[in-house]
Structure 1
């Protein structure tokens, strides 16, 4: 825990770290940690076709997703496509589904997602 009582989360030093962190945090039911992977105005595509825009909506979406405590399985991370401060990441999941995300390098050198179109695969 940090000095202010909040849990400290490992930060993504490479865009590929985000996929590992999201899986770990989904399986731990760590909503705060999940929201910390996104820029404040990020957009998350939801399984029902809606989108969550911004930290508050992303938080609500993840609260619903992890409420049933599902188990998420890792996939095969695809090569990252990078240009300057943007990166396109993707993971191929079991059953053929694929996630697609856009991450941006932050001023401190860490990476956060700006756009996230996941495919939820519960194992």
Structure 2
């Protein structure tokens, strides 16, 4: 169950920062809260996890390794209406690409997440 007590993303640019903070803290439910209920997460490479339960399972596998992810360099979100494209260049050189959607309460959640496009 997603905990509504987690600080929401008030801007699309907040999502990447919150992801890194929650991943480094081992906060599985906080990570899942960044996604819409029917979001798609492209992980592991070549596979797609659809919906929060599948995303929770994939993120749980990632967290099991207790990773520490440096913040990376985010690109400024490209926003059109209620949709936004977010992207970050990671320290490893990989680049992420995500589509976020503004929620009814004005906060933002990812609907598509491709954690490594390059």
The alignment's TM-score, normalised by the length of structure 1, stands at 0.88
| Residues 1:116 and 2:109 are matched in the alignment | no
Q: What are structure 1's unaligned runs of at least 5 residues?
A: 1-5
Q: Establish whether residue 47 from structure 1 lines up as the match of residue 41 from structure 2.
A: no
Work out which of the residue numbers 9, 27, 44 in structure 1 matches 2:6: 9
Residue of 74, 88, 92 corresponding to 1:91: 88
Where does structure 2 lack aligned partners over 5 or more consecutive residues? Answer: none
Contact 2:44 2:58 in 1 (8 A): no
The two structures, once aligned, show a CA RMSD in angstroms of 1.2
Q: TM-score, normalised by structure 2?
A: 0.92
Count of residues in correspondence between the two structures: 114
TM superposition outliers: structure 1 runs of 4+ over 3 Å = none
SS at the partner of 2:60?
helix
Deviation at 1:95, TM superposition (A): 3.1
